[in-house]
Amino acid sequence: MSVTKAITAPVLATLTLNPALDLQTGVDIVEPENKLRCDVARQDAGGGGVNVARVLGRLGGRATCILPLGGPAGQALQARLADEGLDALVVPIAGETRQSFTVFDRSRGAEFRFVLPGPKLKAGEVRAVETALADLSPAPDVLVVSGSLPAGMDPTRLARLAARVRRQGVKLALDASGEGLRAGLDAGVWLVKPNLRELQQCLVRDLPDLSSQLAAARGLIDDGRAAWVALSLGRQGAVLVGAGFAAHAPALPITPVSTVGAGDSFLAGLVWELSRGRPPRQALATAVAAASATLMSPGSGMARSADIRRLRPRVRIEVLAGG
Point out the residues that are catalytic: 264
- Rounded distance, CA 287 to CA 175, Å? 14
User: Three-state DSSP class for 299?
Assistant: coil
- Strand-strand pairing, 12-15 and 63-69: parallel
Q: What angle do CA 144, 226, 136 make, to 5 degrees?
A: 30
Sheet (strand 238-242) strand order: 87-92, 63-69, 12-15, 142-146, 171-175, 189-192, 226-232, 238-242, 245-249, 318-321
Q: How far apart are CA 228 and CA 245, in angstroms?
A: 9
Strands (E), 176-237: 189-192, 226-232
SS3 133: helix
Expressed in percent and rounded to 5, the helix, strand and coil fractions of the chain are 40, 25, 35
